[in-house]
Amino acid sequence: MLKKKAAAALLGLVLLGGLTAGLIAVTAPSRDEAAAGEMWPTDTVPGVEDGVVDEVDGISPFADHLPAIAKLEPELRAAMQSAAHDAIADGVDFVVTSGWRSAAYQQSLLDEAVVEYGSAEAAGEFVLTPEESRHVTGEAVDIGRTDANSWLSQHGSDYGLCQTYANEMWHFELATGPGGDCPAQLPDAHG
């Protein structure tokens, strides 16, 4: 009789655990909800599908199968790839360290920057909110390696690409027509 009661109690705990797990799974926001502005589940970390790129090694500017490149605005992607082709032909190692980002990934970067810099104001010099970031709209790309930044600063306007922030030599946007003049750089992301 004692074994039957213990088995029944154990079965009850298993069922209760399953119901609780099901409730948690139902109430946690999905990635789509998170990207639409809901909070990320605490055990979820943005990944490749959110535009995460290894910022040290970067990725090929031609990695169209990755969301960080594929979700860039088509005109920006084409200009960046054309510039990359020419830079590589000049012997310059050209990589993308950040391209398109999901809103949730941008928010996580902002949250990290607030901790790193000590305030939202200080963090705002380098990381914008998801609503302000041109990475979230696919209208900005960060280029890696100093030689590539320098090459693109010198030749970017030939492709319409401009360094838009004085404090971010890696951040480029399609800010003019090919061969046009780039606008004056803003001091930082908040102008």
Distance of CA 57 to CAs 54, 95, 97, 165, Å? 6, 8, 7, 22
With left for phi above 0 and alpha for psi between -120 and 50, is residue 165 left, alpha or beta? beta
Average pLDDT over the chain, rounded to an integer = 82
What pLDDT does 4 receive?
46
Supply the angle between the helices 74-89 and 146-155 in degrees, to the nearest 10: 110
What pLDDT does 32 receive?
39
pLDDT in tens, 144-175: 999 999 999 999 999 999 999 999 999 999 99
Band (pLDDT 50/70/90 cuts) for residue 10 is: very low
Span 84-104, average pLDDT: 96
What pLDDT does 174 receive?
97
Weakest mean pLDDT among 28-37, 59-68, 138-147: 28-37
Q: Is the pLDDT of residue 1 over 70?
A: no
Q: What is the pTM of this model?
A: 0.75
Span 108-131, average pLDDT: 93
What pLDDT does 43 receive?
53
